[in-house]
Amino acid sequence: MSDSTIASRAFGRLVRKYRKRAGLPKNAVAFAAETSPQTYGRLEDGLKQNIPSMMVNVISDKLRVSDDERRLLLTLAEETRKARNAEGKWWRSHLDEQRTGFRHYLNLEQSARRATSLQIALIPGLLQATEYRRQLVWAAFPQWTPAEVEESLALAALRRERLADPDFEFRALISEAVLRQRFGGPAVLKDQLSHLLEASERPNVSVRAIPFTATNPVFALGAPCVLFEFGPLPSTKLIERPMIFVEELAGALYLERRAEMDLYMDAIRRAGQLALDVKATRDLILGIVRECSE
């Protein structure tokens, strides 16, 4: 289980808070730490996961933090390094170096204690069967070679192992349209739905469908999103704030500001109110499976 992302985000959030309190621009702190403004910006954004103690002390001196605040920053930096070295990042060899956005997503997926996925177009990635995923990759990346497609499928298989962690909770809210969309044909859909039923038998996995009969489905006006929630860090016991991932055609957004997050959290809440319960969802899926066999 990865904690480096949570620790680095907590570190960055505190440094930003102390810098603003000191009334200093980013460039001034970056200069003092003998690093580039871009690297320092990544540090405040929680994306830098190798933070030397010397840099922490220089930044602490520049921001004139208290002894307790310095100790907290040093602890978070050490926790980031330890977690990063321990976790090994099993997915690194499966990712193209240009796909930094997806790398950040995987960090969050491995770090979260709970993830709630609201999907109106596709089955959530953690619940995708191999052939369904293959059809999706071919459709999204027609220029990929067969080897690149297989590499993506290998990564997807490794990601699915996250569901085997009993301390991780995954909740899926899926539009009925997604469950009925014959992506790749009826055989592919039948296999996918069977896989979905099997995954939903795990005690830490919840799959609920938003039926066509749902009134006022305001969630459908937005984009697919995932709410990540985190547990306490081992050393500091800090609980990092949740984050919303929003998937769009032009890229992805990672939202942390309360005003932005509230919009999507409200959509998730409303979708949950409209969704069928777990048993009714299983009955719906079983009915669609029978239709695929006709």
Q: Where are the domains of the chain?
A: 6-86, 99-292
- ∠ CA 274-224-2 to the nearest 5 degrees? 110
Nearest to 148 by CA among 96, 221, 70: 96
- Residue 144 near residue 181 (C-beta atoms within 8 A): no
- Does domain 99-292 sit in CATH 3.30.870? yes
CB atoms within 10 A of CB 114: 16
**Rounded to two decimals, what is the model's pTM?**
0.74
Position of tokens 């001196």? 61
- Any idea which residue has 């830098």 for tokens? 48
Give me 6's structure tokens.
Answer: 């949570």
Rounded Cα distance, 201 and 282, in Å: 10
List the strands of the sheet with 114-119, edge to edge: 205-210, 169-175, 114-119, 225-229, 243-248, 251-255
CATH class of 6-86: mainly alpha
> Can you tell me which residue has the tokens 């690194």?
92
Pairing relation of β-strands 225-229 and 114-119? antiparallel
Print pLDDT tens along the chain (294 aa): 345 677 788 888 889 999 999 999 999 999 999 999 999 988 988 877 688 999 999 999 999 999 989 988 998 888 888 766 655 454 444 445 335 457 678 878 888 899 999 998 999 999 999 999 999 999 989 999 999 999 889 889 989 999 999 999 999 999 999 999 998 899 999 999 999 999 999 999 999 999 998 876 665 556 789 999 988 765 566 677 898 998 766 567 888 788 888 989 998 999 999 999 999 999 999 999 999 987
Phi, psi of 40 (to 5 degrees): -65, -35
The tokens describing 132, both together, are 């369904």
CB atoms within 10 A of CB 156: 20
For residues 246 and 117, what is the distance between their CA atoms, to the nearest angstrom?
10
